[in-house]
Amino acid sequence: MALVDKNTLDDGGFRMSEATARDFIELLKPRVMSLVVFTAFVGLVAAPVSINPFIAVVAILAIAIGAGASGALNMWYDADIDAVMTRTATRPVPSGRVLPGEALVFGLILSALSVMTLGVLVNWLSAALLALTIFFYAVVYTMWLKRSTPQNIVIGGAAGAFPPMIGWAAATGSISLESVILFLIIFLWTPPHFWALALFKSQDYGRAGIPMMPNVAGEASTRKQIFAYSLLLAPVGMLPWAFGFTTAGYGVVATALGIGFIWYAWKVLVMPDSDRVMKPAKALFAYSLLYLFVIFAAYLADSVVERTLASGVLS
Amino acid sequence: MIENELVTLTDKQKKARRSRSIAIGLGLAVLVVVFYVSTIIKFGPAILDRAL
């Protein structure tokens, strides 16, 4: 017998990774990250304090990496349920391209690196908020709420709502009413956005045993709740104008977008139970993405234009 | 007799490792640039202030 036994390396107990850089990038959920980058950018640029452009880029990069890291931790923890849902079965961990341990280490290292970078190079308030966001998404939402309550995405939505507040804090070193309103817009937008998806993907969620609202409270109740949140979202979207933080230009855009949201939510509310194609739910889901993009773009444009005009008048 | 235990990587594994190595290299390079430039920005002209 040899001193060292020969082991078969491909017996499942040990195997060399075949994960490419692209697989690791996929762990960062690039599509979610793009929304995070955009909303954080709006918070950072709309803040009334100018920040060195390079430091601004570093802040956005750190926020993006932090958000991506929480996505990687989510994919590590949720690999079992991702494997049984058609929408997520091809993700790197359930498909076997990335080992669970690799995803965990990747997520942890990037979490620490992004928070430390933001703290050292920008400021510690924004770093603390980023750390809270990662903890909220990976632990509070993914590990605790997602599998235990249909309110999962309502409370967990806070994680997605923090980025503009982090951007604002990166520029100003403080939290102000403006950034709280930007937080609230995303927070109230999240339930109708995800429940619209959950309506036409309820079988997927049901198979994975995730207690999404349509699976627990039924489709009729979900449709009512979507409508209720839309009624809340529309006026909150107009708050920056109501409080005088923006011009009427933003107010007009936010009002039109809010009416549109309520209209699409109404179509979902009156959708017959027999409708299995669920076009209104799909339309609301698509519109909700447009809503968030346009309302933040309008806020950004408004603050930049207002500032440019003010500096022009003063000079 | 002690046998050398070597793992022979498949082509796919070699390609994946090369891809990961390039990404790690680029990532570290970006990190260095970020910290160097940010440090210079934060110190400003004071970066050249030193006792002679």
Are residues A164 and A297 in contact, defined by beta-carbon separation less than 8 angstroms?
Answer: no
**Opening angle at CA A18, ends A12 and A20, nearest 5:** 150
> With a cut of 0.95, is the ipTM above it?
no
Helices and strands (H and E) in chain B: how many: 1, 0
Are residues A186 and A203 in contact, defined by beta-carbon separation less than 8 angstroms?
Answer: no
Give the tokens for residue A177.
């009413």
* B14 close to A (CB below 8 A): no
Whole-structure pTM value:
0.90
Helices and strands (H and E) in chain A: how many: 13, 0
Give the tokens for residue A12.
């499942």
Indicate the residue of A9, A20, A54 with minimum beta-carbon distance to B38: A54
- Please report residues of A whose CB lies closer than 8 A to that of B10: 16
Other Cβ atoms within 10 Å of A267 Cβ, number: 17
Are residues A194 and A153 in contact, defined by beta-carbon separation less than 8 angstroms?
Answer: yes
Any idea what DSSP says for residue A18? -
* B36 close to A (CB below 8 A): no
Per-residue confidence of chain A (315 residues) as pLDDT tens digits?
455 555 554 544 456 788 999 999 999 999 989 999 999 999 999 999 989 999 999 999 999 999 999 999 999 999 999 999 888 999 999 999 999 999 999 999 999 999 999 999 999 999 999 999 999 999 999 999 999 999 999 999 999 999 999 999 999 999 999 999 999 999 999 999 999 999 998 888 888 889 999 989 999 999 999 999 999 999 999 999 999 999 999 999 999 999 999 999 999 999 988 888 889 999 999 999 999 999 999 999 999 999 888 887 655
Dist CA A300 CA A306 (whole Å): 10
Q: Crossing angle for the helix pair A152-172 and A53-77, nearest 10 degrees?
A: 160
Are B15 and A20 within 8 A, CB to CB? yes
Nearest CA in chain B to A65: B27
Euclidean distance between the first and final Cα of chain B, in Å? 64
* B9 close to A (CB below 8 A): yes
- Please report residues of A whose CB lies closer than 8 A to that of B16: 17-20
- Spelled out in words, what is the top-level CATH class assigned to the domain A1-174? mainly alpha
- Please report residues of B whose CB lies closer than 8 A to that of A102: none
Determine the CATH number of domain A176-308.
1.20.120
Å between A24 CA and nearest CA of chain B: 9
pLDDT at B47: 78
Are B34 and A24 within 8 A, CB to CB? no
Nearest CA in chain A to B4: A4
The DSSP string of A52-63 is -HHHHHHHHHHH
Are residues A40 and A160 in contact, defined by beta-carbon separation less than 8 angstroms?
Answer: no
For chain A, domain boundaries: 1-174, 176-308
Indicate the residue of B13, B34, B42 with minimum beta-carbon distance to A16: B13
Are residues A195 and A68 in contact, defined by beta-carbon separation less than 8 angstroms?
Answer: no
